[in-house]
Amino acid sequence: MALVTPTANAADETAAIEAAAEQLRALMVDPDKAKLEALIAPELSYGHSSGQVDTRERFVDDLMSGASDFLSIDISEQSVQAAGDTAIVRHTLTGDTHNKGKDPAKVNLRILQIWQHQGGDWQLLARQAVRL
């Protein structure tokens, strides 16, 4: 029987959280409703850099309809801090958008995400963006 050290456990959890954050990034560019709903907690509070706050339903619907359309997203300066069943992810998001009814645009944001371990998986519970 192998012993698992706290350091190995922490590294595994960090890797799982990073994988969930990467899955969200990919789904924001190429949305899939079922995958988004599986990754996002029903209680989601999704704060945009404009100050608008969306529910999970609104966030998913906007991605699926093209109201929020990310053509590309690049993540940098990411940090992950796990604390039990909760994790804080911070990063810089740069990308290109072409939201329905709007001109193409570039975004440069600082993001705070709160992830929660629910039902064996990491789910996005909250997100807030600020413009850089």
> How far apart, in whole angstroms, are the C-alpha atoms of residue 122 and residue 67?
26
- Identify whether 32 is part of a domain: yes
Report how far apart, in Å, the C-alpha atoms of 125 and of each of 2, 6, 38, 39 are.
33, 25, 12, 9
Tens digits of per-residue pLDDT, 21-72?
Answer: 999 999 999 999 999 999 999 999 999 999 999 999 999 999 999 999 999 9
Running DSSP on this structure, what letter comes out for residue 91?
E
Q: Would you say residue 67 lies in a domain? A: yes
Number of domains in the chain: 1
Q: What are phi and psi of 15, to 5 degrees?
A: -65, -40
Domain of 15: which CATH number?
3.10.450.50
> Does residue 1 lie in a domain region?
no
Q: Quote the domain boundaries for residue 103.
A: 6-131
% of the chain at pLDDT higher than 70: 94
In a domain, 96, yes or no: yes
